[in-house]
Every structure is written in structure tokens, then in C-alpha cells.
Amino acid sequence: MVALPLAACGREEADLTNGKALFVQRCGSCHQLERAGTQGETGPDLDTAFRAALQSGMNRETVQGVVDDQIANVRRNSQMPPDLVTGNDRRDVAAYVAYASGRRGEDEGALAQAGLAGATSGREIFVAAGCGSCHTLADAGTNANIGPGLDDLASAARQRGQGSPEEYVQEAILDPEAFTVPGFQPGVMPSYEGRLDERQLQALTDYLLGE
């Protein structure tokens, strides 16, 4: 069940829809979770991480507690930033991971539209796909530096000589291993092949190129 906010006293139950949307935005670039459609490889594959424990009798409430604790108490030298999500948002993310990890099938109803699936404009797609967790883009209000900055991307694309700006951007989205900007680590960005439909790909490309 997807809980609704309760007035005054706050939410008593986790909101899975919010949890999924935030997971895709903040966590999906580093973690794989099949039902969320994320394919990050920097951090653990969460389906694999919890499947054996669930099959051995661990319940999903316990998984939620483990995930909540891992987000709240980030290990020293971990690539996961502190305070990635806090408060009710952290609870929602932990609840969605507990719900989705190792679970076969696809999300349905409102949950299916949460995150990337329901994003249509270029800015919505940028945010929902979690691009801001790795890239700086002033228009989106992001300042991460794991990957190259995306301001004035059209000019940078022409300088890098990897085809037209549109070809360069779409190749970077669909096949990020094809070219790595000097100074950045290869193999960090996941491919969005099959995760964006043609309209989303074009909308995101146009947005990044300022069109």
C-alpha cells in the first residue's frame, strides 16, 4: 500500500512512490535495482545483495532497517555521500529498496510512474535519472563533480570532436564507455539504453544542449 501524508503528525507509513522517485534520482546512478530500472555499478547490486538473505528468512522490514541504517551512518571512505536523504525521505527510500530488492516483475499503478518512467521534459528526465548526483548543471541546480560539468555542453562537444553535439550527447547517454572525458574515471556512468524511450532521449539531449 502507498501511504498518503497525514496532517500535523506527519506520515506514519513509508511512501513507496516517493521512495522510488528519490532512489532513482539519488541512488540509481550507483546501484542496480531491477524494479527501479537502475543499472549503476559503483555501489552494490541491491537485488543480489538482499536476495540470498530474503530467501534465507530475513523479512523485508529487517531489510528496510538495514538500508535505513546504511544511509544514515555512511561508512568512512565510502563513495556514498552523507545525508543523501534524511528524515521521512530516508525512510521512504529504505522502504522502497526493501519492497523492490529481489522481487520479480514490474511495479504497477502510481508506483510504475514514479521516477524516470513518468518524466517527460528534459529537466524532469535529468532530475529523475539521477544525473545531478554526478554532474554539475546550473539550470538544474546541481554541483556534483564525479562526472564532467554539463554547462555549455554544446561547445565542449564540438571541441571533443566526437561527431555533432547531438551525436556526442546521445552516445554519452546510451554508450558511455565509447568515450571518457580526460581526467574522469571510466566505467562509472551507467548506460541508459533501454531506460529512455526515443522521446525522452531527444528531450534530454535538447535540454543538455540548451535547445
pLDDT given for residue 2 in this prediction: 43
Q: Residue 161: left (phi > 0), alpha (psi -120 to 50), or beta?
A: left
pLDDT for 11 equals 56
Q: Which residues of 145-179 are buried (b: 16+ CB within 10 A; e: fewer)?
A: ebbbbbeebbeebeeeeeeebbebbbbbbeebeee
pLDDT at 178: 92
In this structure, are strands 38-39 and 142-143 parallel, antiparallel, or unpaired?
unpaired
The pLDDT, as a whole number, for residue 163 is 84
| Length of the chain in terms of residues written | 211
Cβ–Cβ under 8 Å, residues 72 and 82: no
Q: Is the whole-model pTM more than 0.95?
A: no
Phi, psi angle pair for 190, to nearest 5°: -80, 155
Positions in the chain whose pLDDT score sits under 70: 1-11
Which residue ranges form the domains of the chain, and what is each CATH number? Answer: 16-115 (1.10.760.10), 119-208 (1.10.760.10)
The C-alpha cell of 115 is what? 521516477
Burial degree of 186 (CB within 10 A; 0-12, 13-18, 19+): exposed
Grid coordinates in use for 130? Answer: 539521477
